[in-house]
Structure 1
Amino acid sequence: MEVATRRSQRKKRRRFWFRFTFRSTMVIAILSVLALLFIFSYSYLLGPPPMQVAQSTYIYDDDGNVVNETQQGHQRNWTNIDDVSPFVLDAFVAIEDRKFYDHHGFDYMRIGAAVLKNVQTMSRSQGASTITQQYARNLFLNHEKTWDRKAREALYALRLEWHVPKDDILEGYVNTINFGHGAYGIERAAQLYFGVSANDLSLEQAALLAGLPRGPSYYSPYNHPERAKDRQELILSEMKDQGKITAEQYEEALATNIEFSETQQSQERVAPYFQDVVERELLERYDLDPAIVEAGGLKVFTTLDTDMQKAAETYVEQEMPADEPLQTAVVSVDPTTGDVKAMVGGVHYDESPFNRAYDARRSPGSTFKPFLYYAALKNGFTPATLLRSEPTSFPLNEDGDYYEPGNYGEIYANDFITMTQALAYSDNIYAVKTHVLQEPESLIETAQAAGIESPLSPNLSLALGASDVGVLELTAAYSSFANGGARVEPRLIERVEDAEGNVLIDTEPEVEQAFDERQTYMMTEMMRHMFNSELNDYTSVTGNSISHLITRPMAGKSGSTPNDNWMIGYTPNLVTGVWVGYDDNTPLDHRKHGQIAKKIWVKTLEKSLEGELKHEFQVPRGVENVDIDLATGLLADEACGNAYTAAFVHNTAPTESCTEYLENDELNAEEAKEEISKEKEKLFDRLKRWFSSNEIDG
């Protein structure tokens, strides 16, 4: 009897919970339907939304002056949908919203998939916005990933769908999006990239443009052609799969080589190369959502100094030949903070927006030697260390292969010279010998400590700058010499705010002590002698041609390869680097082009610091300045001849006087022979160790 009673009670409880669940579900369903009806009715009664909003992103220089206003909105470049190539419209619908003409503002399948993904990842990273939602967002809202914004976006999208025809929505969408390089709207993009109207865009052109708004800088065909091509191919594939184009059209578009407009639209922007990098770093370095950048309404405070930028652009225009496709790159960096003050990425931005200062990698030649000689100072060399400058064959292995570098013009001392002279004359033999007399990794470790991130090969030719590096990368690395041994990270953006004043990005200088300040000062003093004509001897110092233009303490190093010409140097408060060469590695005529980089460098640096105090390089504790005899590398004396001043750590300068060599020429000749023999022995021993490292390949 009790068993039957318990069974009856369980059945009653099940019936109760079933009825309760059913009734609750029905109530929730009814309330949901009523809520949706209210939302739909409310959005309908509100009428069409106002469709005349334009947002602008402002870019500021380091003084807070606006240097560019990038306007976002339909008021610019508006083109009627009938004047837009059907390929464009089909491409956008295919990649952004394939159900555009079938839904009422929302793609519920995509929303469900996105919600599931966000729940799984506990984030809001996945979106499922339709073209209508994106247009609503562009017109009325920001791109914050918040539920409040999404709710308001949905309401605006409903109002658009209730009151605006689909074609008008699509028309507004293609007229309010950012295609990169200052082009907003499909008409301006068509003119910028291809020199045609939006109505004349071909299938392959339309597919490429449709891929840009997702990341205008990331997919830029100028800066990242492979990414742009991959996205174009994805869009063409989607168009084929959705039946918007035939298989034949697809294959033909893939096989067509796109040619870009030779005369691009004038940007009328201050420092356009600099600004392009700013936009890229917002996305790539600081991971800002591309949708936020696209929406506009930002305030981007940068490190740009417009006066320094103008100086760089002025002297590029003045010194670069107008009758040949020679290119250049110029960068100026504050060595104490890493702030990039000026950037020129080419001769004419309108003709070529490829940024050689930021993206190109070229052989630095002798501008790499300061890192070599800093490593040598760290390993026991001094500015007066003597090595013989003469034609030398360096064995590469035990199979009889040799590396035979040469000095420019085949000019050699055929005698011993000091490290200071070797750097001032840019003697290649001295450099390779110095490299050999250290561990193979010493130079690489030193360059990396200064901030060089490009791959470096531990071979003999690395001493002469055989591994490619970037202009900004190498210029910033020189900051370690100008800043007492402290390495800085290049910085272009100080702060970013949204339209409401919320700080999205706030940066601080990244500074880290990399070098010993005493040895850094010694390197600076050696690099100053590049412009010291009193060192002219069997050859001239490499800065001899521009030394008369220098009015303040400066240090630096020039460099050249068959295809490149460099000059990098600094004062205590500014580092400037210049590269000159051809994009296709055409060999330079060094008699004709060899002084261009130096002239741009010295004039830019002098003009940039015009009116500023002429600061001296600060001498650290534990360092002394000593006069060295030019002929012998020993302590100078009036009886000997020309001399120069070099910096030494206390108790490391030569102790002998040059007068001792004046007294006994016969004995000096014997000592010289002995020194030559010792040097050759050291080199041979060290080369054997390089062989054993299996890292030397010339």
Structure 2
Amino acid sequence: MQVVINRKRRRRKSFLRRSFRLLLVMLLLVSGSAVALLSYTRMLGPPNLEVSQTTIIYGENGEIIGESHSGQNRFPVELDSISPYVIDATISVEDRRFYDHLGFDPKRIGGAIIANLKSGAKSQGASTITQQYARNLYLTHEKTWTRKWNELLYSLQLEMNLDKDEILEGYLNTVYYGHGAYGVQAAAELYFDKPASELNLAEASMVAGIPKGPTYYSPILNEELAKNRQWVVLQSMVANGAITEIEAAEAFEVELVPTNTRREIGEKIGPFFNDIVEKQLIEENILKPEEWQAGGYKVFTTLDPHMQEIAEKHIANELTDPDLQIGFVAMDPKSGDVKALVGGREYGGKGFDRAVEAKRQPGSTLKPLLYYAALENGYTATTTLKSEKTAFLFPDGDSEKEEDYYWPNNFNGNFADDYITLIQALAYSDNIYAVKTHYSLGFHKLAEIAQKIGMQSTISTTNPSAPLGTSEVTLLDLTTGYSAFANGGQMVEPRFIKRVETMSGKVIHENPVYQEEVLDENLTFILTDMMTAMFDRRLNDYTTVTGGSVAPLLNRPVAGKSGSTEFDSWMIGYTPQIVTGVWSGFDRDKRIDTRNAQVPKQVFAKFINEALKDELILPFHQPDGVVAVEIDPKTGYLASESCPGPARVSYFIPGTEPQETCPKDVEELEEAIEEDSTAERGFLKRFMDWLH
């Protein structure tokens, strides 16, 4: 009997020894595996922590006019720029043992496994902050064992290569808070219109509760559920020793009203302008395409949100034809800063921009370029040419062939059939005067001036109709060219971007203002003064001034020129503060009617008045090299009581101004006609007719 008992004892001892040895081997294997796993994750080095960030585009006043992101609105900030309340609330509700574990919490995992086995589903999670950060960076949110294993590996890699504060900072910058807001900075701005550093306890506890279910716990969508979740967060903070019961109760009683002031994803001020900014950033190699996609920049632009709003309002009011399209540009003539831009009646998402891409015939808006060249070559405001139906022989044409002649026409076939002054020719937009000047100066002069003022469009040097706008240009190009007239002969380049910074404020690109003196200051001022005549209805004669319909809308000195073709209508003009160009027409070959042709002038005048209503009413700067003379614009003589037209102050280079007044009687007039053997001053005969 004793022998049997001893044998059983020996077998038991042997089993225990084998079990102990097996357990020891298993522990060694587990420990070795753990050491190997930790060593492996350590050897892998720091993981890739890059996530797409939001790039913010600012207007000139600091207002956000656009954002770029890959569907994740995110503004990373450093941990010390996050409210301590947010940090305490997040740790308390998400992972109280965050600073004590190696990326996973065995106790929580065990509890979650038991709960899931009991329920027969993966209904309960035990993810730590590190695991959630790993999931935000690399994984999906599906509940599978494979994903959990990968999550564990990534968590260990994070823990072995980063310190706890770096992990916490990364988590708070990547977690989703609803409504397209990723990261606590975006959430703070979305819900409370303030940076994350300024969130108080009540706000922080509300925000910290959202990631568990952004759809359910958003205070914008469901205030009651959000408050319930806030209470859970506050009690977690109490349990974790972060706050007291009294502080929790007081925070819970604070009434929170979410602001939701951030724009919806994709909503922009001046969307056509935003597209140009993005295009320039990449095409000019300021940012590489992959850098733009990654985001994390601040782009400071020239857009004036207030002017943009005014432009869009008046465009919407004037575009009554559903098919009529429009282009609009307003810029500072001194800097080239583009203040407002509209590329079409509606924005379709990086579609065709009619302000910068559409090449159309500009009509008579090219005439000021021609007349500047004329001033360079001895013309003055009182130079006269005859306005009558005229045939012009094409260069290299055969004078014996009728088809080799060019017959320009005036609007509605109105001709003076007499001599008119240059100032009248501009005010009436007389085509005969323009073509005669074009032939007189040489066809190359118009193209040379266009090139001088920085226009990129090619103006024909062989076509007799070039001053009537038969060469195609873009609205931005022509408006930029007019800036040289408004800026005293200084050419500028259109500027959309002022500078680009990283989110930390490091300047990586600056775009200085570019100016170059290309025109004579005195002649530019003389031309500008003549260009104000299109709004001077006192000059109405055999036809009316082209800006008469909108003259009552203008309450300050404005210079400009309109233009029209069968398919296009234009208005380009300026004050000392701003130059504005407007085009309207149809995308297809459809002729523009009289009503639609008025749209650019109406938009131009109404925009100028409202955009500058709080600005000083300034005259154009008169340089020292000109003299002011009161003339009769109808005859070109010095103004006197005997002149037929209303007096008007015009400007001249000293020595080129008129020296004589209108003849006082018929006898004096007849003598003047007889002395004028060239008949170049044909208005003398017209004046005699007026006397009779």
TM-score (norm 2): 0.63
Partner of 1:595: 598
Q: Please name the residue that 1:132 is paired with.
A: none
C-alpha separation in 2, matches of 1:671 and 1:434:
25
Say if 1:451 and 1:511 are closer, same or farther in 2 by CA, change over 3 A.
Answer: same
- Correspondence 1:311 to 2:315: no
Task: Please give the alpha-carbon distance, in whole angstroms, between the structure 2 residues aligned to 1:47 and 1:450.
Answer: 55
Shift of 1:350: 3.0
Separation in 2, partners of 1:676, 1:641: 19
Between Structure 1 and Structure 2, how many residues are aligned? 466
Given that residues 334 and 487 in structure 2 are in contact (C-alpha distance below 8 angstroms), is that contact kept between their aligned partners in structure 1? yes
Deviations 1:624-673 (A, max 9, x none): 12122233211111122323221111110111211267544544555678
Q: 2:324 aligns with which of 326, 335, 341?
A: 326
Q: Is residue 478 of structure 1 aligned with residue 477 of structure 2? A: no
8 Å Cα contact 2:54-2:73 kept in structure 1: no
Q: Work out the percentage of aligned pairs sharing the same amino acid.
A: 46
**Whole-angstrom CA distance in 1 between matches of 2:550 and 2:281:** 39
Match of 2:450 among 447, 452, 456: 447
Aligned equivalents of 1:481, 1:47: Cα separation in 2 = 59
In 2, the alpha carbon distance for the partners of 1:677 and 1:657 equals 14
User: 1:661, 1:668 within 8 Å by CA — same for their partners in 2?
Assistant: no
The one-letter amino acid of 2:552's match is H
Q: Deviations over 1:130-168 (max 9, x none)?
A: xxxxxx9x969xxxxxxxxxxxxxxx9x969999xxxxx
Pairing partner for 2:460 from 452, 457, 460? 457
2: distance between equivalents of 1:629 and 1:50? 76
- Name which of structure 1's ranges 497-506 and 408-417 shifts more when overlaid on structure 2: 497-506
CA distance in structure 2 between the aligned counterparts of 1:360 and 1:40, rounded to whole angstroms: 62
Report the Cα offset of residue 287 of structure 1.
4.3
Q: How do residues 251-650 of structure 1 correspond to structure 2 at under 5 angstroms?
A: 267-321=266-320, 323-350=321-348, 353-396=351-394, 397-399=396-398, 400=401, 401-458=404-461, 459-589=463-593, 591-642=594-645, 643-650=647-654
Q: Distance in 2 between matches of 1:384 and 1:351?
A: 51
- 1:182-218 CA deviation, whole Å, 9 max, x = no partner? 9x9xxxxxxxxxxxxxxxxxxxxxxxxxxxxxxxxxx
Question: 3-state SS of the aligned residue for 1:659?
Answer: coil
Is the contact between residue 44 and residue 159 of structure 1 (CA under 8 Å) also seen in structure 2? no
Structure 2 Cα separation of the partners of residues 383 and 40 of structure 1: 88
2-structure distance, mates of 1:300, 1:354: 23
> In the aligned structure 2, how far is the partner of 1:473 from the partner of 1:398?
32
Aligned equivalents of 1:496, 1:518: Cα separation in 2: 38
Q: Is the 8 A contact 1:338 1:489 kept in 2?
A: yes
What SS does structure 2 have at the residue aligned with 1:460?
coil
4+ long deviations beyond 6 Å: 37-40, 44-51, 160-163
In the alignment, which residue of structure 2 is the partner of 1:122?
none
Match for residue 68 of structure 1 among 61, 66, 83: 66
1:593 offset after TM fit, Å? 1.3
User: Relative to 1, partners in 2 of residues 1:504 and 1:304: Cα closer, same or farther, differing over 3 Å?
Assistant: same
Letter in 2 for 1:410: G
Q: Distance in 1 between matches of 2:666 and 2:341?
A: 53
Change in 2 beyond 3 A, CA 1:631/1:68: closer
Aligned partner of residue 279 in structure 2, secondary structure: helix
- The range that moved more, 501-510 or 536-545, is 501-510
Cα offset for 1:441? 1.3
SS in 1 for 2:659: coil
Deviation at 1:63, TM superposition (A): 1.2
1:288 is displaced (CA, Å) by 2.3
- Checking the alignment, whether the CA contact within 8 Å between 2:421 and 2:634 is kept in structure 1 is no
Distance 1:48 1:522 in 2: 68
- For residues 542-592 of structure 1, the C-alpha deviation after alignment (integer angstroms, 9 at most, x for no partner) is 000000000111100000011100000000010000000011231111x22
Matched residue SS, 1:55: coil
Query: Structure 1's 75 and 555: CA in aligned 2 closer, same or farther, altered over 3 A?
Result: closer
Alpha-carbon distance in 1 for matches of 2:582, 2:502:
35
1:657/1:346 Cα in 2 relative to 1: closer, same or farther (>3 Å)? same
1:346/1:353 contact within 8 Å kept: no
Instruction: Call closer, same or farther: CA 1:612–1:389 in 2, change over 3 Å.
Output: same
SS at match of 2:307: helix
**Aligned-partner Cα distance in 1 for 2:40–2:315:** 63
Given the superposition, is the C-alpha separation of residues 351 and 319 from structure 1 closer, same or farther in structure 2, using an over 3 Å criterion? farther
Decide whether the 8 Å contact of 1:61 with 1:305 is kept in 2. Answer: yes
Judging changes above 3 Å, is the alpha-carbon distance between structure 1 residues 661 and 404 closer, same or farther for their aligned structure 2 residues? farther
Q: Distance in 2 between matches of 1:572 and 1:444?
A: 26
Find the aligned partners of 1:348 and 1:393 in 2 and give their Cα distance: 44
Q: For the structure 1 residues 611 and 161, does the alpha-carbon distance in structure 2 shift closer, same or farther, using more than 3 Å as the test?
A: same
Contact 1:624 1:649 in 2 (8 A): yes
Deviation for aligned residue 1:267: 4.0
Per the TM alignment, residue 595 of structure 1 is displaced from its structure 2 partner at its CA by: 1.0
Question: Helix, strand or coil: the match of 1:528?
Answer: helix
The 2-side partners of 1:441 and 1:575 are apart by 26
Q: Distance in 2 between matches of 1:649 and 1:160?
A: 80
Q: Which of 659, 665, 668 is the matching residue for 2:663?
A: 659
Contact 2:424/2:634 (8 A) holds in 1: no
Amino acid at match of 1:615: L
1:661 and 1:371 map into 2 onto residues whose CA distance is: 39
Worse-matched range after superposition: 659-668 or 529-538: 659-668
- 2: CA distance, partners of 1:408 / 1:290: 50
Greater mean alpha carbon deviation, residues 670-679 or residues 558-567: 670-679
- The amino acid of 1:598's aligned partner reads K
Instruction: Give the stretch that moved more between structures: 659-668 or 273-282.
Output: 659-668
Q: What are the within-5 Å matches in structure 2 for residues 92-131 of structure 1?
A: none
Gapped regions of structure 2 (runs ≥ 5) = 1-35, 75-133, 139-150, 159-173, 175-179, 183-263, 684-692
Paired AA for residue 618 in structure 1: H
In 1: Cα distance, 2:545 partner to 2:349 partner:
37
Instruction: Give runs of aligned pairs for residues 28-107 of structure 1, distance below 5 A.
Output: 41-42=40-41, 53=51, 55-72=53-70
1:59 to partner: Cα distance: 0.6
| Conserved 8 A contact 1:565-1:579 | yes
CA distance in 1, matches of 2:422, 2:408: 18
Aligned to 2:97: none
Equivalent residue, structure 2, for 1:133: none
After superposition, what is the alpha-carbon deviation per residue over 1:267-322, rounded to whole angstroms, capped at 9, x for unaligned? 4211000000000010113442111111111100000001110011000100011x
* Residues 535 and 644 in structure 1, CA contact (< 8 A), matched pair in contact too: no
Contact 1:303 1:341 survives alignment (8 Å):
yes
Post-superposition Cα deviations, 1:106-134, rounded to whole Å, max 9, x if no partner, equal: xxxxxxxxxxxxxxxxxxxxxxxxxxxxx
Q: CA deviation at 1:50?
A: 7.6
